[in-house]
């Protein structure tokens, strides 16, 4: 319908206007993930550093009931 009403420029403008609020929401979501990750790392007693090193894999799994990564 927008293409018939005003051509390609109207369609481009409508998509930018429609996508701008979603961009703001996406930025806010990224900021909240960062904040909660920092908060979680600061409040974990077993974490020595507040940085995540993806190259190191811990030997002990704190979330598993058996405390191990091995799957039975």
Reduced to 3 states, what is the DSSP secondary structure of residue 67?
coil
Task: Check whether 66 has a pLDDT greater than 70.
Answer: no
Tens of pLDDT, residue by residue over 17-55, are 999 999 999 999 999 999 998 888 777 777 666 666 667
Task: Check whether 58 has a pLDDT greater than 80.
Answer: no
Cβ neighbours for 51, distance < 8 A, ≥ 6 positions apart: 41
CB 47 within 8 A of CB 41: yes
pTM surpassing 0.75? Answer: no
Please, which pLDDT band fits residue 71 given cuts at 50, 70 and 90? Answer: low
């Amino acid at each position: 319908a927008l293409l018939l009403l005003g051509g390609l420029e109207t369609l481009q403008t409508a998509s930018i206007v429609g996508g701008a609020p979603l961009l703001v929401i996406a930025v806010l979501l990224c900021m909240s993930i960062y904040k909660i990750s920092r908060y979680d790392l600061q409040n974990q007693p077993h974490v020595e550093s507040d940085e995540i090193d993806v190259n190191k894999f811990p030997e002990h799994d704190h979330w598993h009931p058996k405390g191990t990564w091995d799957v039975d």
